[in-house]
């Protein structure tokens, strides 16, 4: 783990700097374009962190995490647009209902374990995706998604001129999720999660119910994901079915593995880099540099998932710690040389 | 009545396609504990090789061309699966989570390569002229391709069953699904069985890929998506490692899905997931699965 | 001459150190009993020899090292294993269970030997092994080890959980086998051990604490201190 000794001063400088940067004269983060990109990236960093809690810290390979993200998003937009609840109550209700949904789905899925659990969560999430994208019940507007009705939320949540507010809200969400995750994983429940990952029988022998702790981790991660979904609704201005697809969960897996699991900051960095890179790789694919290369090579290279997939295979097979693992490895080498 | 019959038989045909995907997933999981996300790529590889054969090699789309496409698609996918097992999976022996993750990576890379080469648009797979015929049962006109899917699935079910029941390697596979370590303790190299199930699973998925392309009127890197997920659901409901269980579950799911979708579009997926939840609550080992020791 | 010799064997599973340097020999054409209270590491020792658990230390079969080899190669080298919970393949028939284990199908003499030892298995050849009684399942497990010509058979608590009548049956079978082959037998049933074992090894807390002849088994006090059971009668 990144020790407080190192991270506390670093974070104490970095976070206020990030918060202040939209106001600090002319710098990259004073432009709405990058603010928007970074707002999205912060949210994916936070989402990846909740997935790290589930997969990295507790050892639950869930393929259904996107469902809770999307559920928060859709419930909030429905409550707000249809005047069911005032916006801040809608946010609370969206998170609360998603948490209950997570309890139900978690209880059913956790009757299985390991690899079967992965399959089952995938199936549940797919059902959610279908419900949303097929406009089941006529509520979700199918593939087109639902735009957030701008009149029903405070102005700071809307529009290009207010991007800096969204930037702040996203950064705040990331910081909040980071501290909640930090607090949980360092708490006694967090130690139980870690023990579950390493050796379930040992936890059972201590008289603790493994199933209950797994469910706790599952539900906490889902609850936070739903809140991040609500914030994503503000940032992107609409709810869309792509947020519910298993592609999102697979992307989360890539973020956590590439960034490095069980280090918290690895998942956050992984999420931020992935989010920014997938926008940038898209640009690269349209770049002219590739035109001179034969299609048999340029074709795959123009697909962002080609490089990411290869990198992912490489990391899983040969460098299981990912980015943060490599950092600790190098630091250990430097320290032992001294 | 005729709509009822048409939907039912279409459902069985769809179930047959699910079975082609699920049988391999189930054996691979049952024997090796590998959750194979790359199985959808096997299907896609089979579909593209089938497309290549029917449109580039052969210039008439008759029955033989189609059979050739299925066989070649199956073989290509089987060989690809074999390579995946040998080069990647076997290096992560007993690291089940990593094996699952690495298959996710393979699926991404294969999808990207095929999309980069051919784009994501549907390309028409040439089919024999009789594909558009219908068979009349009572007053119902049932497209003849549905029977083809059912027939191919049955042939593969029987071939699979015969191999498992009567051959030495089949004996090793059945024993290995139950208790792999004990098979090794009897002096048997289980790795050969691993490669065999990957090849067989890949073959069935490849054949399935050609049929799926015929059913959905075209080939694209994206056709495998929902079949893979349904394959997983079939495996869980049918019971891990049980090929007959997969067959039973695939049929049930295909039929239920079609009727539910007829009643209200989109309802099918929903009902299937409820079925899955029910099975998990009442019988977590699946319909024909065994509780592992 | 020793068939099997184990020196300084260590096994760690998930950070817990289970065997702390186990050393012993199994002489040729003998029955060697491996005794000890529950949880001292007897089963773990057998599994480590079979390569089913990773271990450190020396394991030699007829003088050549088998440590670190793959399980199936160890078995092919001539070590048969009858595990504690029998682990027969319950969905396979009796015949299939035996066919799976048979490495040399032309060795008719061996198959006849097995048939002679366990005539009941021949009559139940087509029955699924999972539907057999506990005693019959144990017969299958032992027969599976006997269908091949082996250097040594490792047998883990073959009479565990069996009704007294079946214990006698299994014991008789083992007694008849004992003359033919070398055996390392883990067993709680002392009368059986006294009847067939020529050597005794006692383990405690992951170590060997005694290695010698079976005479001591007739001394109740020794048995009580070594094995924690009131000795003699069982
Ligand atoms: N797979 C395992 N994981 C962790 N501990 C184990 C495992 N198998 C056995 N043990 C522990 O190792 C010790 C020895 O077990 P075992 O070899 O089965 O003893 P015995 O056969 O002498 O009764 C016991 O304390 C047991 O709890
Ligand atoms: Mg034991």
Q: What is the pLDDT of residues C145-154, one digit of tens each?
A: 999 999 999 9
Pick from C46, C50, C71 the residue to mutate for testing the B interface (most B CBs within 10 Å): C71
Please give, rounded to a whole number of angstroms, the shortest distance from the CA of C117 to a CA of chain A.
Answer: 41
From B167's Cα to the closest Cα of chain A, the distance in A is 29
Please indicate whether, in this complex, the C-beta atoms of B236 and A316 are within 8 angstroms of each other: no
Which residues, other chains included, contact B246 with Cβ-Cβ below 8 Å and sequence gap of 6+? Answer: B19, B22, B23, B25, B26, B234, B235, B238, B239
Q: Is A285 helix (H, G, I), strand (E, B) or coil?
A: helix
Contact A329, A321 (CB under 8 A): yes
Buried b (16+ CB within 10 A) or exposed e, C34-45: bbbeeebbbbbb
> Tell me, what's the pLDDT at C4?
96
Nearby residues of C63 by Cβ (< 8 Å), 6 or more positions away: none
Name the closest residue on chain A to residue C14, using Cα atoms. Answer: A199
- Residue A198: closest CA among chain C residues belongs to which residue? C14
Tell me which ligand sits closest to the C-alpha of residue C34: 1
Helix axes B168-178, C94-101, angle to 10 degrees: 100
For chain B, the first-to-last Cα distance in angstroms comes to 47
Rg of chain A (C-alpha set): 20
What distance in Å separates the CA atoms of residue A124 and residue B224, rounded to the nearest whole number?
18
| Residue nearest ligand 1's atom 1 by CA | C13
Q: B184 CA to chain C: closest CA distance, Å?
A: 5
Distance CA B55, CA A282 (A): 32
CA-to-CA distance for C168 and A136, rounded, in angstroms?
68
Fold annotation for A11-21+28-337: ABC transporter involved in vitamin B12 uptake, BtuC (1.10.3470)
Q: What is the pLDDT of residues C161-215, one digit of tens each?
A: 888 888 888 888 888 887 778 999 999 999 899 999 999 999 999 999 999 998 8
Greater model confidence, C231 or C166: C166
Q: How many CB pairs under 8 A join A and B?
A: 131
**Parallel, antiparallel or unpaired: strands C199-204 and C182-186:** unpaired
How many other CB atoms are found less than 10 A from the CB of residue C63?
9
For chain B, where are the alpha helices, taking DSSP H only? 2-32, 39-52, 63-83, 96-118, 145-166, 168-178, 180-185, 191-215, 225-238, 243-263, 267-282
For chain A, give the percent of residues with pLDDT over 90: 44
- Nearest alpha carbon, ligand 1 atom 25: C39
pLDDT by residue (tens digit) across B151-203?
A: 999 999 999 999 999 999 999 999 998 999 999 999 999 989 999 999 999 99
Q: A82: closest CA among A161, A160, A138?
A: A138
pLDDT(C115) > 70 = yes
Span A130-174, pLDDT tens digits: 888 888 778 888 889 999 988 888 877 776 668 888 999 999 999
CB–CB contact A114 B97 (8 Å): yes
Percentage of chain B modeled with pLDDT above 70: 99
Are the C-beta atoms of residues C211 and C201 closer than 8 Å to each other? yes
What pairs with residue C58 in β-bridges?
C7
Tell me how far apart the alpha carbons of residues A286 and A302 are, in angstroms, rounded to a whole number.
7
| pLDDT one-digit tens code per residue, A188-201 | 777 777 777 777 76
Torsion region of B184: left, alpha or beta (phi above 0 gives left; psi -120 to 50 gives alpha)? alpha
SS3 B37: coil
Q: Is the pLDDT of residue C17 over 80?
A: yes
Touching check for A204 and chain C: CB below 8 Å?
no
Do the strands C16-27 and C2-13 form a parallel or antiparallel pair, or are they unpaired? antiparallel
Tens digits of residue pLDDT in B108-130: 999 999 999 998 899 999 888 88
pTM of the predicted protein model: 0.86
Q: For tokens 């069982």, what's the residue?
A: C234
Confidence of residue A289 (pLDDT cuts 50, 70, 90): low
Local structure of B123: helix, strand or coil = strand
What's the CA gap between A285 and B28, in Å, rounded?
Answer: 36
List, chain by chain if needed, residues with CB within 6 Å of any ligand 1 atom: C 13-14, 16, 18, 36, 38-44
Average pLDDT over residues C75-85: 95
Which residues does residue C59 pair with via DSSP β-bridges, in sequence order? Answer: C6
Mean pLDDT across C88-117: 91
Asked if the ipTM is above 0.85, the reply is yes
Around Cβ A3, how many Cβ atoms within 10 Å? 7
Rg of chain C over Cα atoms, rounded to whole angstroms, equals 17
Rounded to whole angstroms, the Cα distance separating C136 from C122 reads 11
Q: Which of B31, B84, B93, B109 is best to mutate for the A interface (most A CBs within 10 A)? A: B109
**How far apart are alpha carbons C85 and C77 in whole angstroms?**
23
Domain residue spans in chain A? 11-21+28-337
How far is the centre of ligand 2, averaged over its atoms, from the C-alpha of C39 (Å)?
A: 7
* Whether the Cβ atoms of residue A35 and residue A22 lie closer than 8 Å to each other: yes
CA-based nearest residue to A225, from A49, A29, A41: A49
**Which carries the bigger pLDDT value, residue A68 or residue A109?**
A68
pLDDT the model gives residue B293: 40
pLDDT in tens, C33-46: 999 999 999 999 99
Q: How far apart are CA A189 and CA B155, in angstroms?
A: 53
B249 within 8 A of B238, measured Cβ to Cβ: yes
* Range name among A40-44, A139-143, B286-290, C84-88 with the lowest pLDDT average: B286-290
Cβ burial B205-220 (10 Å sphere, 16+ → b, else e): bbbbbbbbbbbbebbb
Per-residue pLDDT at C185: 96
Give residue A165's Cα distance to chain centre: 20
**CA B228 – CA C88 distance, rounded (Å):** 34
Q: According to the model, what pLDDT value does residue B147 have?
A: 93
Query: b/e for A26-38, b at 16 or more Cβ within 10 A?
Result: eeebeebebbbbb
B211-270 pLDDT, tens digit each: 999 998 899 999 998 899 899 999 989 998 889 999 999 999 999 999 999 998 778 888
Ramachandran assignment for C175, one of left (phi > 0), alpha (psi -120 to 50 degrees), beta (any other): alpha
8 A C-beta contact, residue B279 and residue B287: yes
Tell me, what's the pLDDT at C231?
45
């Amino acid at each position: 783990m990144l020790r407080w000794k190192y991270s506390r001063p670093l974070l104490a400088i970095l976070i206020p700097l990030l918060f202040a940067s939209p106001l600090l004269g002319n710098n990259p983060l004073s432009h709405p374009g990058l603010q928007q990109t970074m707002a999205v990236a912060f949210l994916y960093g936070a989402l990846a962190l909740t997935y790290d809690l589930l997969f990295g810290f507790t050892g639950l390979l869930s393929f259904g995490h996107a469902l809770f993200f999307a559920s928060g998003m859709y419930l909030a937009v429905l409550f707000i647009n249809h005047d069911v609840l005032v916006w801040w109550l809608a946010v609370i209700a969206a998170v609360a209902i998603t948490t209950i949904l997570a309890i139900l789905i978690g209880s059913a899925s956790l009757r299985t374990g390991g690899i079967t659990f992965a399959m089952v969560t995938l199936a549940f999430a797919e059902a959610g995706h279908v419900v949303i994208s097929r406009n089941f019940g006529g509520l979700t507007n199918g593939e087109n998604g639902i735009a957030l009705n701008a009149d029903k939320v405070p102005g700071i949540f809307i529009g290009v001129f207010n991007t800096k507010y969204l930037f702040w809200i996203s950064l705040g969400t990331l910081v909040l999720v980071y501290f909640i995750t930090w607090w949980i994983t360092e708490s006694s429940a967090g130690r139980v999660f870690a023990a579950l990952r390493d050796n379930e029988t040992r936890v059972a022998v201590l008289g603790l119910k493994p199933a209950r702790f797994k469910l706790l981790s599952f539900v906490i991660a889902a609850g936070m994901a739903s809140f991040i979904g609500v914030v994503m609704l503000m940032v992107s201005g609409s709810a869309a079915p792509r947020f519910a697809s298993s592609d999102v969960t697979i992307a989360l897996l890539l973020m956590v593995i590439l960034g490095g699991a069980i280090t918290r900051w690895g998942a956050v960095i992984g999420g931020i880099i992935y989010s920014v890179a997938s926008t940038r790789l898209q640009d690269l694919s349209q770049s002219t540099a590739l035109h001179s290369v034969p299609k048999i090579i340029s074709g795959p290279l123009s697909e962002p998932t080609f490089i990411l997939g290869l990198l992912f295979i490489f990391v899983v097979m040969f460098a299981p710690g990912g980015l943060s693992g490599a950092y600790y490895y190098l630091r250990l080498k430097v320290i032992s040389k001294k | 009545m005729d709509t009822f019959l048409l939907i039912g038989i279409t459902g069985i045909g769809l179930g047959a396609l699910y079975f082609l995907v699920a049988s391999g997933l189930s054996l691979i999981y049952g024997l090796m504990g590998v959750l194979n996300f790359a199985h959808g790529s096997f299907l896609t590889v089979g579909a593209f090789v089938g497309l290549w054969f029917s449109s580039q090699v052969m210039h008439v789309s008759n029955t033989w061309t189609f059979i050739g496409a299925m066989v070649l698609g199956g073989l290509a996918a089987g060989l690809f699966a074999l390579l995946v097992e040998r080069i990647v999976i076997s290096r992560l022996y007993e690291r089940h989570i990593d094996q699952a993750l690495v298959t996710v990576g393979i699926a991404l890379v294969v999808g990207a390569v095929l999309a980069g080469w051919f784009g994501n648009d549907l390309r028409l797979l040439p089919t024999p002229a009789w594909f558009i015929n219908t068979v009349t049962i009572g007053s119902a006109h049932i497209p003849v391709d549905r029977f083809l899917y059912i027939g191919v699935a049955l042939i593969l079910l029987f071939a699979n069953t015969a191999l498992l029941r009567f051959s030495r390697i089949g004996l090793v596979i059945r024993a290995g699904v139950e208790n792999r370590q004990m098979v090794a303790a009897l002096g048997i190299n289980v790795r050969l069985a691993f490669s065999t199930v990957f090849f067989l699973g890949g073959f069935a998925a490849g054949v399935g890929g050609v049929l799926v392309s015929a059913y959905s009127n075209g080939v694209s890197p994206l056709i495998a998506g929902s079949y893979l997920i349904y394959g997983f659901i079939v495996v869980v409901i049918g019971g891990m490692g049980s090929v007959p269980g997969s067959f039973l579950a695939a049929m049930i799911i295909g039929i239920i899905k079609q009727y539910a979708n007829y009643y209200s579009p989109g309802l099918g997926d929903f009902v299937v997931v409820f079925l899955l939840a029910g099975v998990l609550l009442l019988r977590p080992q699946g319909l024909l699965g065994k509780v592992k020791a | 001459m020793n068939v099997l010799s184990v020196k300084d064997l260590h096994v760690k599973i998930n950070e817990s150190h289970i065997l702390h340097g186990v050393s012993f020999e199994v002489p040729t054409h003998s029955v060697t009993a491996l005794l000890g209270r529950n949880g001292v590491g007897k089963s773990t020792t057998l599994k480590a020899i079979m390569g089913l658990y990773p271990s450190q230390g020396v394991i030699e079969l007829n003088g050549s090292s088998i440590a670190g080899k793959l399980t199936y190669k160890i078995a092919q080298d001539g070590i048969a294993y009858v595990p504690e919970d029998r682990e027969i393949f319950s969905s396979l028939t009796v015949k299939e269970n035996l066919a799976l284990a048979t490495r040399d199908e032309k060795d008719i003499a061996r198959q006849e030997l097995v048939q002679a030892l366990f005539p009941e298995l021949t009559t139940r050849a087509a029955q699924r092994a999972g539907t057999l009684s506990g005693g019959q399942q144990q017969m299958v497990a032992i027969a599976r080890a006997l269908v091949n010509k082996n250097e040594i058979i490792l047998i883990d608590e073959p009479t565990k959980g069996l009704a007294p009548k079946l214990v006698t049956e299994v014991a008789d079978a083992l007694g008849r086998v004992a003359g033919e082959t070398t055996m390392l037998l883990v067993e709680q049933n002392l009368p059986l051990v006294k009847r067939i074992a020529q050597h005794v090894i006692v383990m405690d807390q992951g170590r060997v604490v005694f290695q010698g002849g079976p005479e001591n088994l007739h001394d109740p006090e020794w048995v009580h201190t070594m094995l924690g059971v009131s000795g003699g009668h069982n």
